[in-house]
Amino acid sequence: MSDEQIIDLLQKKEYEGLEMLIDIYGYSIVTTIRAILNQSVEQNYLKDVENAVFYKIWENASLFDSTKSSFKTWILTITKHCSIDKKREIIRSSRMEPVELLPEQGETFDPFEKEHFLDLVSSLSSEDQLIFLKYYYYKEYPEEIAQEFQLTKETIYARLSRGRKKIKQALEGSLS
């Protein structure tokens, strides 16, 4: 079955297209999700993200443009974005404390509070956001991150450095 046939079936909202999509690309989708949601606390969300990806592909099949990318690239881009969104949601929700447990304090903006930091990191590319999260929040070693992304350790350090500079510029822009 060709990608064109799958796309045609999906655009016509025929379930056979979704079944073929799962048969052909399901493994790649699940592998991508697991690569991004790779922390133990995130394992409970794998099926949710998988379902969200298939639903998003189903709903947006008419938006696929073969002149911009291959079908597989389009699918895996949707998968990556859904997975990163869920990762951000998990991180944000795990950092929240009930209001009654928070100490009394004035309304001050601390850009290095975790919630604000996640907003600052959003100015980076998706891959650099993951590198930052793995390094600063999950305390993974650069060697581990490099291996996972199939990059050199030096490249990881360079991306962290460039990312810090970009965040600093964004921070200086928001404070002035």
Note whether 120 and 82 are same-domain residues.
no
- For residue 144, which amino acid is it? E
Q: What is the CATH number of the domain that holds 115?
A: 1.10.10.10
Write down the pLDDT at residue 123.
78
Percentage of the chain with pLDDT > 90? Answer: 38
H-only helix segments in 37-70: 46-60
Single pTM value for the model: 0.56
Residue that finishes a domain, picked among 95, 115, 150: 95
Note whether 90 and 113 are same-domain residues.
no
Can you tell me the distance from the alpha carbon of 45 to that of 31, in angstroms, rounded to the nearest whole number?
14
Note whether 15 and 68 are same-domain residues.
yes
Can you tell me the distance from the alpha carbon of 27 to that of 49, in angstroms, rounded to the nearest whole number?
14
DSSP annotation of 136 reads: I
The per-residue pLDDT for range 42-76, each reduced to its tens digit, is 888 999 999 999 999 999 999 998 898 899 999 99
Select the more confidently predicted residue: 32 or 174. Answer: 32
Note whether 130 and 71 are same-domain residues.
no
For residue 101, is it within any domain? no
The per-residue pLDDT for range 80-112, each reduced to its tens digit, is 999 999 988 888 877 654 444 444 444 444 444
Q: How many domains are there within the chain? A: 2
Radius of gyration of the chain (CA): 19
Burial 52-63 (b: 16+ CB within 10 A, else e): bbbeebeeebee
Over the chain, what is the mean pLDDT? 82
The per-residue pLDDT for range 1-40, each reduced to its tens digit, is 788 999 999 999 999 999 999 999 999 999 999 988 888 8
Write down the pLDDT at residue 38.
85
Q: What is the CATH number of the domain that holds 90?
A: 1.10.1740.10
- For residue 102, which amino acid is it? L
Note whether 87 and 134 are same-domain residues.
no
Q: Let me know: does 166 contact 176? Beta carbons within 8 Å.
A: no
The kind and range of the H/E element at 106 are none
Helix and strand totals (H; E) in the chain:
8, 0
Note whether 50 and 15 are same-domain residues.
yes
Residue that finishes a domain, picked among 95, 123, 150: 95
Residue that finishes a domain, picked among 95, 127, 160: 95
Q: Is the pLDDT of residue 156 over 60?
A: yes
Strand segments, DSSP code E, in 29-134 are: none
Domain span at residue 64 reads 3-95
